[in-house]
Amino acid sequence: MTSISDITVKTIDGKDAPLSSYAGKVLLIVNVASYCGYTSQYKGLEKLNQKYRDAGLRILAFPCNDFGAQEPGSNQEIAEFCDRNYAVSFELFDKVHAKGSQQHLLYARLTSAVQPGDVAWNFEKFLIGKQGEVVARFKSAVSPESPELIGAIEQELAQ
């Protein structure tokens, strides 16, 4: 299994965040964008966060401008958009590249693990088990409310 525990990312306000600090938690990592047909998935992600946070789920959202230039804003603008439109309380991180020559190490690791291949669009989801291993991958069209995704989250939380 491919682990992400040794990677450090930056929060949306520029602080280092080692992914090892999430050991023992189930993570749902999502590349997000403010101007995408899937942007309304923020609502469902926030519902998942509210429902499963106390059980150990953490949603980590990484803004990404790689797909249709649908996330052009600054980190501050992105954070304000998420707060104003969706009252997002899960964690937002620094804008990253999910594909291409400047692909972030996190996405290089994620996309080589389960169903290897490039991220295809915004709001692709990666489920990470409690030991930091990539356990599942869900395409953009799989909504946060989908039984497939919820079942996989509940299975990991029960481990």
Give the active site residues. 36
Distances (CA, A) of 146 to 9, 15, 103, 117, 151: 28, 33, 28, 23, 8
For the chain, the distance separating the N- and C-terminal CA atoms, rounded to the nearest angstrom, is 16
| Token code pair at residue 60 | 């980590």
Bridge-based pairing state of the strands 134-138 and 57-63: unpaired
Tokens of 13: 């306000």
CB atoms under 10 Å from CB of 64, counted, come to: 25
CB distance 134 to 1 below 8 Å:
yes
